[in-house]
């Protein structure tokens, strides 16, 4: 049987089976992806054939389908010569364009932290496989010009997206996989994970050093030694009293002036706690599905499997007790972020029966997503606020729950490919373990979010060379000053699935000239970052200002020689509006009165400055404000702010900085300009 359902404009679900109709994939059953039709379900086709065809004005997709009675499937799609294929997430780190590749969708520690069974064509079509079992994409490797997707287990269930280009495909895919979540304000600054030997006093001393040395920092992270038992997988974990003493007369959930976290928060820091998990999270997922079914079918007679008796070999899990329940006391203590270490969440459990019914080969790819989901929703339901949740494991749906980093794989050139491949799946909040090397600092502070890993070393900025400390200070201040720029493009990602970090192939979509460029990316609309070396290729489609010198760079390909404290190359597109603020020690409680609107003329440009409360999920209900700016030749127009959110502060004041090609600038206070029809117009002589 083959069934094609039109879920929404340009989104089709195709299922095919032999014999009895298979049960729903856990990926959609647990809500990691959303396959509910936008309106009333529209059946395009329902027959016993083994082919499915989707035709648009731009292309025709004809799938050959086969499925075994006991599971397993194969999908075959002829490829056009013009198909350039992208996606698959952090399945491997050797290419961006996927022709000739065989990719296994299987979560594996170090080798494959984030397989994403999503692939899209430069022509605008895309495919998502709704399956949690390991399966294979053979992309014109075994057979020229054929995409073959197959598995020994699971049902044939896929979603096909039909758009005009890569950006359109990502937009449609986001309706099913979810949009990237907006992180709390502090998450877009610097997260610094401290050495594992840290204790309460050294944490406060490190916090003070960041402030005294003028190095902006927002989140401090503790590694496993914060717990009384190293790598405590249980729900009985407690603070290590020798390292993080709390007076015995204070309650377990205490937060006050006897607590080091209280002092950290008053200094503008958030605290992140390292976690490891092998808990059976699927008891809760099954229970939630059951409760939803009972609400929809109040007269149904149902046995609740969570109440079954018997001896359990799993001594960690407490069926009926949600994983997040035991973390509430640490949230009460002041923790606002959680690092979900790879640990066991990305390892196989070959002899485990999850929720008393699912074998590990069906669970393994999905586990990190469910873990992040319960952490995000648990914190939200308990506090009403956003938490910074970050994890290495990725599968479809992760982007709407958490940020990710590239796992325990350092920060070499291959790491940038992992971020690019995530971007090609619509996952935006991705980063890596930044170290103290000069290239790492340049790349790390210009990533979608920034994390420094110091758990096994003492290469803190002030323990390194004076040159390294000055470089670190320079980039941390740059990161702080770019907050509103980065946050505004985080909103673009949340609204459209178009990521903050953009491979050049995603920006310049009509050419294959950049499919092999692995050391550069666009950060938002306007910045070109040369990340892992100094070999520059400036796209000829635009002209470019050197951000550090302010001058136009005329060459196309060359080797960049940075001048200290700069550690790499950073360019701004001619035809850009870049909004910056004065750097602040931390972002959390900082709301400047004035912003600086840097104008780089050359082409028309538009920018929307986005604001919300930076703390809750009110933005999902429309609680945000936007200030629209446009550049037309030598005229910048700043319109009045539109929208509202709780406790919205007064509008910013703006200083407009006009950049000329010789590196000189001219500044104007926008408040001195005339207001007409709700807009300020700033003119400059060319």
What local confidence, expressed as pLDDT, does residue 39 receive?
A: 82
In whole angstroms, what is the distance from residue 573 CA to residue 601 CA? Answer: 9
Q: Is 573 found in the same domain as 668?
A: yes
| Angle between helices 483-496 and 166-177 in degrees, nearest 10 | 80
Asked if residue 139 belongs to a domain, the reply is yes
In whole angstroms, what is the distance from residue 686 CA to residue 683 CA? Answer: 9
Predicted confidence band of residue 299 (pLDDT cuts 50, 70, 90): low
Which string of DSSP letters, residue by residue, matches 10-23? Answer: TEEEEEE-SSSPPP
In whole angstroms, what is the distance from residue 325 CA to residue 378 CA? Answer: 8
Is the CB of residue 453 less than 8 Å from the CB of residue 433? Answer: yes
Phi, psi torsion values for 98, nearest 5 degrees: -100, 5
Is the CB of residue 346 less than 8 Å from the CB of residue 113? Answer: yes
What local confidence, expressed as pLDDT, does residue 111 receive?
A: 86
Least confident of 73-87, 178-192, 218-232, 286-300: 286-300
What local confidence, expressed as pLDDT, does residue 278 receive?
A: 96
Q: Of 494, 394, 596, nearest to 188 (Cα)?
A: 494
Q: Which token pair is 193?
A: 């994970």
Distance (Å) of CA 236 to CA 72, 239, 313, 323, 485: 41, 10, 18, 11, 42
What local confidence, expressed as pLDDT, does residue 674 receive?
A: 80
- Comparison of pLDDT for 456 and 160, the residue scoring more: 160
Which residues are CB-neighbours of 430 under 8 A, at least 6 positions away?
403, 404, 405, 406, 418, 419, 422, 423, 447, 448, 501
What local confidence, expressed as pLDDT, does residue 190 receive?
A: 98
Compute how many other C-beta atoms are within 10 angstroms of the C-beta atom of residue 412. 14
Q: Is 123 found in the same domain as 96?
A: yes
Average pLDDT over residues 352-364: 95
In whole angstroms, what is the distance from residue 346 CA to residue 392 CA? Answer: 9
Phi, psi torsion values for 271, nearest 5 degrees: -110, 135
The torsion angle over the Cα atoms of residues 259, 190, 88 and 387, rounded to 10 degrees, is 30
Least confident of 242-251, 290-299, 380-389: 290-299
pLDDT at residue 652 tops 80: yes
Asked if residue 507 belongs to a domain, the reply is no
Strand partners, 576: 600
Task: Please tell me whether the peptide bond between 565 and the residue prior to it is cis, using omega within 30 degrees of 0.
Answer: yes
Q: Is 106 found in the same domain as 41?
A: yes
Q: Which token pair is 434?
A: 């930044």
Rg (CA), the chain: 26
Q: How far out from the chain centre does Cα 448 lie? A: 8
Exposed, middle or buried, 172 (CB in 10 Å: 0-12/13-18/19+)? buried
Q: Is 222 found in the same domain as 89?
A: no
In whole angstroms, what is the distance from residue 108 CA to residue 364 CA? Answer: 9
Least confident of 106-115, 244-253, 534-543, 670-679: 670-679
Predicted confidence band of residue 297 (pLDDT cuts 50, 70, 90): confident
Percentages helix, strand, coil for the chain (3-state, rounded to 5) are 25, 30, 45
What local confidence, expressed as pLDDT, does residue 686 receive?
A: 67
**What are the E-state strand segments in 49-129?**
51-55, 60-67, 73-78, 85-90, 101-105, 114-121, 125-129
What local confidence, expressed as pLDDT, does residue 677 receive?
A: 83
Q: Is 545 found in the same domain as 664?
A: yes
Predicted confidence band of residue 301 (pLDDT cuts 50, 70, 90): low
Q: Is 120 found in the same domain as 224?
A: no
Q: Is 421 found in the same domain as 374?
A: yes
Strand partners, 139: 101, 147
Asked if residue 33 belongs to a domain, the reply is yes
In whole angstroms, what is the distance from residue 474 CA to residue 471 CA? Answer: 5
Which strands, in side-by-side order, build the sheet including 11-16?
42-47, 2-8, 11-16, 156-162, 125-129, 114-121, 85-90
What local confidence, expressed as pLDDT, does residue 308 receive?
A: 55
Q: Is 197 found in the same domain as 113?
A: no
Asked if residue 503 belongs to a domain, the reply is no
Q: Which residue has the tokens 């109040």?
A: 298
Compute how many other C-beta atoms are within 10 angstroms of the C-beta atom of residue 235. 17
Q: Is 207 found in the same domain as 140?
A: no
CATH number of the domain bearing residue 664: 2.60.40.1180
Q: How far out from the chain centre does Cα 571 lie? A: 24
Q: Is the C-alpha dihedral spanning 547, 551, 556, 560 positive or negative?
A: negative
Which residues are CB-neighbours of 668 under 8 A, at least 6 positions away?
655, 656, 658, 682, 684
Asked if residue 515 belongs to a domain, the reply is no
Q: How far out from the chain centre does Cα 24 lie? A: 27
Q: Is 439 found in the same domain as 534?
A: no
DSSP 8-state secondary structure symbol assigned to residue 335: E
What local confidence, expressed as pLDDT, does residue 93 receive?
A: 96
Helix (H) or strand (E) holding 377: helix 367-383
Asked if residue 251 belongs to a domain, the reply is yes
Distance (Å) of CA 592 to CA 98, 242, 616: 45, 40, 20
pLDDT, averaged across the chain: 94
pLDDT at residue 40 tops 80: no
Q: Which residue has the tokens 């990237």?
A: 180
pTM of the model: 0.96
pLDDT at residue 542 tops 70: yes
CATH number of the domain bearing residue 194: 3.20.20.80
Average pLDDT over residues 581-607: 97
Domain end position, chosen among 125, 156, 177: 177
What local confidence, expressed as pLDDT, does residue 291 receive?
A: 77
Q: Which residue has the tokens 């270490």?
A: 341
Asked if residue 289 belongs to a domain, the reply is no
Q: Is 343 found in the same domain as 478?
A: yes
pLDDT at residue 126 tops 80: yes
What local confidence, expressed as pLDDT, does residue 293 receive?
A: 59
Q: What is the share, in percent, of the chain residues with pLDDT greater than 90?
A: 87
pLDDT, tens digit (0-9, with 9 covering 90-100), for 182-227: 999 999 999 999 999 999 999 999 999 999 999 999 999 999 999 9
Q: Of 334, 383, 428, nearest to 615 (Cα)?
A: 383
What local confidence, expressed as pLDDT, does residue 311 receive?
A: 61
Asked if residue 67 belongs to a domain, the reply is yes
Q: How far out from the chain centre does Cα 644 lie? A: 26
pLDDT, tens digit (0-9, with 9 covering 90-100), for 467-509: 999 999 999 999 999 999 999 999 999 999 999 999 999 999 9
pLDDT at residue 248 tops 80: yes
CATH number of the domain bearing residue 25: 2.60.40.1760
Predicted confidence band of residue 411 (pLDDT cuts 50, 70, 90): confident
Q: Which residue has the tokens 């022709």?
A: 99
Q: How many domains does the chain have?
A: 3
* Beta pairing class for 576-580 and 642-644: unpaired
Domain end position, chosen among 452, 474, 494: 494
Q: Which token pair is 112?
A: 């494959």
**Which residue range is the domain that position 540 belongs to?**
522-683
Average pLDDT over residues 359-365: 97
Q: Is 209 found in the same domain as 96?
A: no
Is the CB of residue 51 less than 8 Å from the CB of residue 156? Answer: no
Predicted confidence band of residue 256 (pLDDT cuts 50, 70, 90): very high
């Amino acid at each position: 049987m083959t069934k094609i359902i039109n879920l929404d404009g340009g989104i089709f679900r195709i299922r095919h089976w032999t014999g009895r109709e298979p049960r729903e994939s856990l990926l959609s059953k647990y809500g990691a992806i959303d396959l509910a039709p936008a309106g009333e379900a529209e059946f395009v086709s329902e027959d016993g054939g083994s082919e499915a065809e989707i035709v648009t004005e731009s292309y025709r997709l004809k799938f050959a389908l086969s499925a075994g009675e006991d599971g397993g499937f194969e999908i075959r799609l002829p490829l056009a010569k013009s198909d350039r294929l992208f996606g698959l997430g952090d399945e491997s780190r050797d290419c961006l364009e996927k022709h000739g590749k065989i990719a296994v969708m299987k979560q594996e520690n170090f080798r494959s932290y984030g397989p994403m069974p999503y692939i899209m064509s430069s022509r605008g079509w895309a495919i998502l496989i709704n399956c949690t079992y390991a399966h294979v994409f053979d992309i014109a490797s075994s057979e020229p010009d054929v995409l073959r997707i197959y598995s020994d287990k699971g049902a044939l269930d896929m979603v096909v997206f039909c758009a005009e280009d890569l950006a359109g495909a990502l937009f449609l895919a986001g309706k099913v996989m979810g949009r990237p979540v907006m992180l709390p304000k502090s998450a877009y600054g610097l997260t610094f994970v401290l050495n594992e030997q840290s204790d309460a006093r050294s944490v406060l001393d490190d916090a003070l050093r960041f402030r005294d040395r003028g190095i902006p920092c927002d989140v401090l992270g503790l590694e496993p030694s914060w717990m009384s038992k190293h790598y405590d997988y249980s729900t009985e974990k407690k603070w290590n009293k020798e390292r993080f003493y709390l007076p015995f007369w204070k309650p377990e959930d205490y937060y006050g002036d006897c607590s080091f976290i209280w002092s950290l928060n008053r200094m503008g820091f958030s605290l992140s706690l390292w976690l490891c998990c092998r808990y059976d999270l699927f008891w809760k997922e099954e229970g939630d599905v059951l409760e939803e079914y009972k609400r929809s079918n109040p007269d149904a007679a149902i046995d609740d499997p969570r109440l079954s008796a018997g001896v359990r070999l799993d001594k960690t899990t407490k069926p009926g007790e949600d994983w997040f329940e035991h973390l509430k006391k640490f949230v009460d203590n002041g923790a606002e972020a959680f690092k979900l270490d790879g640990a066991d969440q990305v390892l196989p459990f070959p002899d485990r029966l999850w929720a008393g019914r699912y074998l590990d080969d069906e669970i393994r790819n999905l586990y990190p997503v469910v873990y992040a989901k319960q952490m995000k929703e648990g914190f939200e339901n308990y506090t009403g606020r956003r938490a910074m949740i970050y994890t290495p494991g990725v599968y479809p749906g992760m982007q709407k729950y958490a940020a990710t980093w590239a796992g325990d794989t350092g920060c070499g050139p291959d790491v940038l490919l992992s971020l690019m491949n995530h971007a090609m799946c619509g996952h935006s909040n991705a980063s890596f373990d930044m170290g103290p090397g000069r290239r790492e600092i340049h790349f790390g502070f210009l990533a979608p979010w920034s994390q420094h890993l110091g758990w096994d070393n003492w290469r803190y900025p002030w323990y390194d060379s004076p040159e390294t400390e000055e470089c670190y200070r320079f980039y941390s201040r740059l990161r702080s000053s770019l907050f509103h720029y980065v946050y505004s493009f985080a909103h673009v990602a949340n609204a459209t699935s178009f990521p903050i970090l953009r491979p050049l192939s995603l920006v310049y979509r009509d050419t294959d000239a950049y499919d092999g460029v692995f050391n550069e990316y666009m950060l938002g609309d306007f910045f070109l970052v040369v990340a892992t070396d100094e070999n520059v290729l400036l796209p000829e489609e635009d002209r470019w200002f050197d951000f550090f010198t302010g001058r136009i760079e005329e060459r196309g390909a060359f080797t960049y020689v940075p001048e200290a404290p700069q550690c790499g190359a950073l360019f701004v597109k001619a035809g850009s509006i870049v909004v910056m603020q004065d750097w602040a020690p931390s972002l959390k409680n900082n709301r400047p009165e004035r912003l600086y609107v840097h104008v780089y003329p050359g082409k028309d440009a538009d920018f929307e400055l986005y604001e919300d409360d930076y703390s809750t999920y009110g933005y999902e209900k429309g609680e945000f404000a936007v200030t629209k700016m446009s550049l037309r030749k030598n005229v910048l127009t700043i319109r009045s702010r539109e929208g509202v959110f709780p406790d919205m502060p007064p509008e910013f004041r703006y200083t407009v900085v006009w950049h000329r090609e010789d590196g000189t600038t001219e500044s104007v206070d926008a408040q001195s300009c005339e207001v007409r029809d709700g807009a300020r117009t700033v003119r400059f002589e060319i």
